Structure 1
Amino acid sequence: MDFVCGHAGRPVTALTHRDVARALLAVPSGVALVAMPDLRRAMMAAGNPLSRAFWDSAKATLSSIESGVATVGDVQRWIESTGTEPILMTPSYFVWPEEDERGPVAAEMYAKLVAYLEERVESGEIDPDALAAGDPEARRAYEELQEHWLSTPLPDGRVPGHAVSDEQDEELFAAWDEEEAFALSELRRIVGELPKQPEMPAAELETAAARLRQLLAMPGYPASVLRACAGYDDRPMPDDDRELWLAVAAGIAGPVSDLAESGDVLEEFADLAGELSDEDAALANLCAIQHADWLAGVAALTRMGPGVLASPERLARLIAESEDIDIDEQDDDDLDATEGLFESVVALWRYLGIVDEDEVLTPLGWWGLPKALELAWSPTPE
C-alpha cells in the first residue's frame, strides 16, 4: 500500500483505478500478482475497495504479461479502461508524446486531462467497469469525450491539442536547426581543409544556367520538381546565373516547397493502390535524406574532385564508409535504401551539369555542390 500511494502521490482514500494500475505495472508482473490480494484487502479496509471488474481485469492483464502473451497494445488498452487514462492515439490521430518525452506544455495538458476525466468518473459520466468489460459504446463515448476536450479552448484560450502539437513542432524544429547547424560547420571545416579550393568554371556555369532556364519553363517532371525545390513556383527566377544555379542545386538538398497542386490532386491521393508519380517519388526521396548522408556524400566527392564516379550506388558506399559521420554498420538493405534515395538526386544533378551522362562529377559539380549545400543549410534571413 505504501508503494502504491507513493507511486501515485495520493493517500489511499483518493487512489483511482488508474493509480493502482500504473503502480501494478511499475513492478514485475509476478510480484504484482502475488501482492494484489493483500493490496485489495488493504484498500477495502481503508474504505476504497475499487470495483470487482477492475480487480478481475488487473488479474487477467497481469497474468497475460506474466505468460508472455500480452501485447503492448493490450496493456495500453487496459490502462485506458481505467477511465482516467488519456487515450494514447485518438480516432482523429492526435498522439500524446511518451511520458519521458513530454515537454512542459504536454505534461501540463496531460495532467489537466487526467483531472478532467477523474471529474467525469466522479459524476458518473464515465463508467470504468463498462470500459474494463470492453463495452464498445462506453469506449466510443470515452474517445469522443477526450476528442472534445482536446479541441475545446481552456479558460486561458489555449486549445489543448493544438498547444501540445505546437510544442512538439517547436522541439522538432529546434532539433532540426541544431542538426543543420552542426552539419554546416562540419561542411565548412572539410572544405576549408582541402589542399586546393574548387574554382568556379564560368563557361560551364553559363551553359548550365541557360539550359536550366529553358528546362524550368517546361511543364511536368523534372522541371516541376526543380521549381518546387528552389521555390520558383510562386516567385520569379533571378537574372543572375550563379544565383539561379545555386538556388536550384541547394533546393535539391533542402526542398523549399511542395509540388504545385493540380486540379486532380485529390483524385491522385485517393487512389491508394496507385503508384507515386515521378514527381512525388522524387520529392519524397529528397525529403527523406538526412543531413548526415548529404554531408558524407558531398564531402567525399569534394575531397576526390572532378572525374570521380558519383552514381547512386557509389554514393551509398561512400556514405556507409564515411568517417565524417557516426553511422552504424550498413547491411545490403541499408545500402539499397540509400542508393534508392540518391537515384532521384543523381538524376536531377544531371540536368544541372553536376554530373555528366555517365554520372561522373564535373568541375561545375565539384565547385557547386559544397556551395549549394552551404546555401541550403544557412539560416534564412528574416
Structure 2
Amino acid sequence: MEFVCAHAGRPATDLTRRDVARALLAVPSGVALVALPDLRRAMFSTGNPLSLRFWDSAKATLGSIEAGVATVGDVQRWVESTGTEPILMTPSYFVWPEEDERGPVADEMFTRLVSYLEERVAAGEIDPDALAAGEQEARGAYEELQERWLSTPLADGRVPGFAVSDEQDEELFAAWDEEEAFALSELRRIVEGLAKQPALPAGELEAAGARLRALLALPGYPANVLRACAGFDERPLPDDDGELWLAVAAGIAGPVSDLSDSGDVLEEFADLDGELSLEDTALANLCAIQHADWLAGVAALARMGPGVLASPERMARLIAESEDIDADAHDDDDLDATEGMFASVVSLWAYLGIVDEGDVLTPLGWWGLPKALERAWSPAAD
C-alpha cells in the first residue's frame, strides 16, 4: 500500500483504479501477483475497495504478462479500462506521445484529461466495470467523451488536441532544423577539404538550364515533379538558367512542395490495392531520404569526381560504406531500400545533366551537387 500511494502521489482513500493499475505494472508481474491479495485487503480496510471486476481483471492481466502471452495492446487496453486513462490513440487518430517523450504542453493536457475523466467517473458518466468487461457500448462512449474533450476549447482558448499536435510539430521541426544545420556544416567541411575543388562548367550549366526550362514547360512526369521540388507551381521561373538549374537540383534533395492537386487524392490513397503513380512514388522516395544519406552519397561523389558511376546500386553502396556518417551495418534490405529511393533521384538527375545516360557523374554534377545540397539545407533567409 505504501508503494502504491507513493507511486500515485495520493493517500489510500483517494486512489483510483488507474493509480493501482499503474503501480502494479511498475513492478515485476510475479511480484505484483503475489502482492495482489494483500493489496486488495488493504484497500478494503481503508474504505476504498474498488470492485471485484477490477481485481479479477488485474489478476488476469498480470497472469497473462507473467505467462508471456500478453501483448502491449492488451496491457494498454486494461489500463484504459480503469476509466481514467486517456486512450493512446483515438478513433480520429489523435495519438498521445509516450510518457517519457511528452513536452510540457502534452504533459499538462494529459494531466487535465485524467482529472476530467476522474470527475466523470465520480459523476457516474463512466462505468469502469463495463469497460473492464469489454462492453463495446461503454468503450464507444468512453472514446467519444475523450474525442469531445480533445476538440473543446479550454477557458484560455486552447484546444487540447491541437495544442498537443502543435507542440509535437514544433519539436519535430526543431529536431529537423538541428539535423539539417549539422549536415550543412559537415558538407561544407568535406567540400573545403577536397584535394581539388570542382570547377564551374559554365557552358554545360547554361545548356542544361536551357534544356530544363523547355522541359518544365511540358505536362506530366518528370516536369510536374521537378516543378513541385523547386516550388515553381507557386512562383515563376527565374530568368537566369543557372539559377533555375540550381533551384531544381536543390529541390530534388529538399522538395519545396507537393504535386498540384489533381483528381480525388483521398480516393487514390484510400485504394490500398492500387499502385502509386510515378509522380507520387518519386516524391515519396525523395522525401524519405535522410540528411545523412544525402551527405554520405554526395560527399563520396565529390571526392571521386566526374566519371564515377552514380547508379542507384552504387549510391546505396557508397552510403552503406561511408565514414562520414554514423550508421549501423547495412543489411541487404537496407541496401535495397536505399537503392529504391535513389532510383528516383538518379532518374531525375539525368534530366538535369548531373549524370549521363550511363548514370556516370558529369563535370556539371560534380560541381553542382554540393552546391545544390548546400542550397537545400541553408535557411530560407540565406
TM category (shorter chain) comes to over 0.9
Q: Which amino acid aligns with 1:250?
A: A
Query: Would you say the 8 A contact 2:216–2:227 is kept in 1?
Result: yes
CA–CA distance in 2 between the matches of 1:45 and 1:248?
A: 73
CA–CA distance in 1 between the matches of 2:72 and 2:260?
A: 41
Match of 1:51 in 2: 51
How do 1:263-302 residues align onto structure 2 when only pairs under 5 Å count? 263-302=263-302
**Deviation at residue 264 of structure 1 after TM alignment:** 4.1
Q: Which amino acid aligns with 1:126?
A: I
How do 1:242-321 residues align onto structure 2 when only pairs under 5 Å count? 242-321=242-321
**Deviation at residue 195 of structure 1 after TM alignment:** 1.5
**Deviation at residue 227 of structure 1 after TM alignment:** 0.2
Q: Which amino acid aligns with 2:338?
A: T
Which secondary structure does the structure 1 equivalent of 2:116 belong to? helix
Match of 2:364 in 1: 364
Match of 1:7 in 2: 7
Match of 2:163 in 1: 163
Give CA deviations for 1:254-280 in whole Å, capped at 9, x if unaligned.
000000111343443343311011000
CA–CA distance in 2 between the matches of 1:281 and 1:78?
A: 40
Give CA deviations for 1:134-159 in whole Å, capped at 9, x if unaligned.
11100000000000000000000000
Match of 2:197 in 1: 197
Residue 222 and residue 71 in structure 1: after superposition, are their counterparts in 2 closer, same or farther (change >3 A)?
Answer: same
CA–CA distance in 1 between the matches of 2:271 and 2:124?
A: 45
1:229 aligns with 2:248: no
CA–CA distance in 2 between the matches of 1:158 and 1:242?
A: 47
Residue 267 and residue 80 in structure 1: after superposition, are their counterparts in 2 closer, same or farther (change >3 A)?
Answer: closer
Match of 2:380 in 1: 380
Which secondary structure does the structure 2 equivalent of 1:381 belong to? coil
- Stretches of structure 2 that go unaligned for 5 or more consecutive residues are none
Give CA deviations for 1:3-47 in whole Å, capped at 9, x if unaligned.
000000000000000000000000000100000100111111111
How do 1:107-122 residues align onto structure 2 when only pairs under 5 Å count? 107-122=107-122
Which secondary structure does the structure 2 equivalent of 1:75 belong to? helix
Match of 1:126 in 2: 126
Match of 2:334 in 1: 334
How do 1:171-186 residues align onto structure 2 when only pairs under 5 Å count? 171-186=171-186
Give CA deviations for 1:152-200 in whole Å, capped at 9, x if unaligned.
0000000000000000000000000000000000000000001111111
Which range is displaced more, 286-295 or 326-335?
326-335
Which secondary structure does the structure 2 equivalent of 1:196 belong to? coil
CA–CA distance in 2 between the matches of 1:271 and 1:114?
A: 38
CA–CA distance in 1 between the matches of 2:363 and 2:255?
A: 24
Q: Which amino acid aligns with 1:196?
A: K
Which secondary structure does the structure 2 equivalent of 1:187 belong to? helix
Q: Which amino acid aligns with 2:354?
A: I
Give CA deviations for 1:192-245 in whole Å, capped at 9, x if unaligned.
001111111011011101110010000000000000000001110001111100
**Deviation at residue 318 of structure 1 after TM alignment:** 0.4
Q: Which amino acid aligns with 2:33?
A: L
Match of 2:21 in 1: 21
- Stretches of structure 1 that go unaligned for 5 or more consecutive residues are none
Match of 1:241 in 2: 241
Give CA deviations for 1:319-377 in whole Å, capped at 9, x if unaligned.
00000000100111110110000000000000000000000000000000000000000
CA–CA distance in 1 between the matches of 2:259 and 2:220?
A: 10
TM-score between both structures, scaled by the size of structure 1: 0.99
CA–CA distance in 2 between the matches of 1:49 and 1:243?
A: 74
CA–CA distance in 1 between the matches of 2:242 and 2:212?
A: 11
Identity of aligned residues (%): 84
Match of 2:73 in 1: 73
Query: Would you say the 8 A contact 2:213–2:241 is kept in 1?
Result: no
| Number of aligned residue pairs | 382
**Superposed structure 1 runs of 4+ greater than 6 Å apart:** none
Which secondary structure does the structure 1 equivalent of 2:90 belong to? coil
1:141 aligns with 2:141: yes
Which secondary structure does the structure 1 equivalent of 2:263 belong to? coil
CA–CA distance in 1 between the matches of 2:264 and 2:113?
A: 41
Q: Which amino acid aligns with 1:104?
A: P
